[in-house]
Amino acid sequence: MIFGCLALVVNFANSTTNANFYNWDFGDGNNSVQANPVHIYTSTGIYIVNMVAQNLNGCSDSMQMQINVYPHPTANFTLSSLYSCSLPSTVNFTNSSTGATSYLWDFGNTITSTLVNPSATYTANTPYTITLIATNTFNCSDTSTNFYTVYQPPLAAFVPSVTSGCQPLEVTFNNQTLNGTDYIWSFGDNGNSTDASPSHIYVNQGTYSVTLIASNSSPCSDTITINSAVTVHPKPIADFTFSQIYVDGLPNGTIDFQNLSVGANSFIWNFGDGEGSILTDPQHQYYGVGNYEVILIASNQFNCKDTAQHLVVPDYFSGLFVPNAMMPISGIGDSQLFLPKGKSLATYHLQIFDTWGAMLFETYALDKGGSPSEGWDGTYNGVLCQQDVYVWKIDATFMDGTIWLGKLYEDGKTKQTGSLTLIK
């Protein structure tokens, strides 16, 4: 008897003597006239093989043998998952083989099992080949193979360049992810990016949570969310207007500034002439003719700032009034001096002469408003001059570049000289 597993290949070794012809009946409906045929049984069962040998004289002999063809089992199994993104990773195997009575598992990690439905634990990031050999009572077997992979997952991490600031706030997110190749960012204000380390501008004030989803070529990903990652403080709005101040109907270079800023609690003014203020609504007097670029920096409690800038052109009253008498002893206040009253003078030269033409006093002194700041007290070399008439002479120009033409007299003429009476 010959037996084996499907599909069974049988090599028939003919040991007949004195025969010239052969007729084989393999019992499955197939025949052969070869001396040593090879036949494949493709169905399970018991087959009776009959061989008839004949010589040239027509004499014949026959023999029979039994062929048993046993069935193969069908090996098959499924995995509880096809991959894992973490270690250690445990997989359960469900055996769906048919026609088998024993099993041999190779989990691809040097560990084997003969259980029907085993499990395996994997401790390394690598692909694994799992093999199941299913065997029946006839020792016929079948093999099934599956694959399981433990991937190296990404580990998402990032750090914002700043965590708070004034609007608009630009933040760069420094990506510190391990094993990542692809990224999806959500900035918390409906903004998104797929850059590795993106920069994002937050326009509106508020507190924002930021989420990063990191992935790689595997099906694994990792997500990290930093709650309240970025706080954007409101920015104040700086603005102001201004108006000229007039005294007795005339401007004196003083500007009244009205602060129109919103959301600010401190202010720095630069009046454009080297001076400034921290008042909310300051006044400032300009002493020169010109255009001044006034800058207001408004700040709030978060030290967020905004700047407003306007061009200020003060209106000026310019002129020079020269008195004609002085009383050094009996006078009160300014009448004790010979001190011309002027405004917005750029240059000034006063000389006092006696009636013989000797110069008794000379000054060029002006204050920052362009007003004469030094007067004659009626003395010469420390001695009070006698009561008499003296002569003054003034050369002056104004800040706007015009020349003082002189004192206007009753005859309608202007002169840069005139008389002064000293009264004791």
Q: Which pLDDT band, with edges at 50, 70 and 90, does 361 fall under?
A: very high
Last residue of a domain, one of 312, 336, 368: 312
Cα–Cα distances (Å) from 407 to 92, 248, 280, in that order, read 115, 22, 43
Last residue of a domain, one of 55, 70, 85: 70
Residue 386's CATH number: 2.60.40
Could you tell me if 53 and 16 are in contact, meaning their C-beta atoms sit under 8 angstroms apart?
A: yes
228 lies in the same domain as 267: no
Cα separation, 356 vs 353, in Å, equals 8
Which helix (H) or strand (E) segment holds residue 226: the answer is: strand 221-233
Share of the chain above pLDDT 90, in %: 88
pLDDT for 253: 85
Task: Please state the φ and ψ torsions of residue 76, each to the nearest 5 degrees.
Answer: -160, 150
Residue 253's CATH number: 2.60.40.10
Highest averaged pLDDT of the listed ranges 147-151, 326-330, 365-369: 147-151
* pLDDT tens profile 189-215: 999 999 999 999 999 999 999 999 999
* pLDDT tens profile 105-120: 999 999 999 999 999 9
Share of the chain above pLDDT 70, in %: 100
183 lies in the same domain as 249: no
* Strands 345-353 vs 359-363: parallel, antiparallel or unpaired: antiparallel
Could you tell me if 395 and 366 are in contact, meaning their C-beta atoms sit under 8 angstroms apart?
A: no
Last residue of a domain, one of 260, 279, 312: 312
pLDDT for 107: 98
* pLDDT tens profile 272-326: 998 999 999 999 988 777 899 999 999 999 999 999 999 999 887 788 989 999 9
Print the domain residue range for 92.
77-150
Could you tell me if 421 and 325 are in contact, meaning their C-beta atoms sit under 8 angstroms apart?
A: yes
93 lies in the same domain as 145: yes
> What is the tally of structural domains in the chain?
5
pTM above 0.85, yes or no: no
